[in-house]
Structure 1
Amino acid sequence: MRILLVEDNRALAEGLATILRGTGHAVDVVQDGASAEVLAAAESFDLVILDLNLPQMDGLSVLRAMRDRQNRAAVLILTARGSAEDRIRGLDLGADDYMVKPFDVGELEARVRSLLRRQAGLRASSVSFGAVTLDLTSRSFVADGAALDIPARERALLEVLFTRAGKVVAKEAIVQSLTSLDDDLSGNAIEQYVSRLRKRLAPHGLTVRTARGIGYYLDRLAEG
Structure 2
Amino acid sequence: MVAAAAVAVTALLVIDPFAGPTGPRALTSDEVNRLAIARFRNHEAGGRAVTITVPTTSGGLVITGSVDYRAKLGYALVRGTGRDTSSDGLIQWNTTTVFVHPMADAPAELPATPPESDWHRRPLRTTGSSLDSSLLIALSLGSDRPDNAELLPQNGAAWIGQDEVRGRQVDVMAGPGASARPDTAGNVRYWVDSDGAMHRVQADVASEPEPVVIDFDTHDYVPVQQAPGVTPTR
Relative to the length of structure 1, the TM-score reads 0.25
> Which one has the bigger helix percentage?
1
Relative to the length of structure 2, the TM-score reads 0.25
Q: Which has the larger radius of gyration?
A: 1
Query: Greater RCO between the two (CA within 8 Å, min separation 6)?
Result: 2
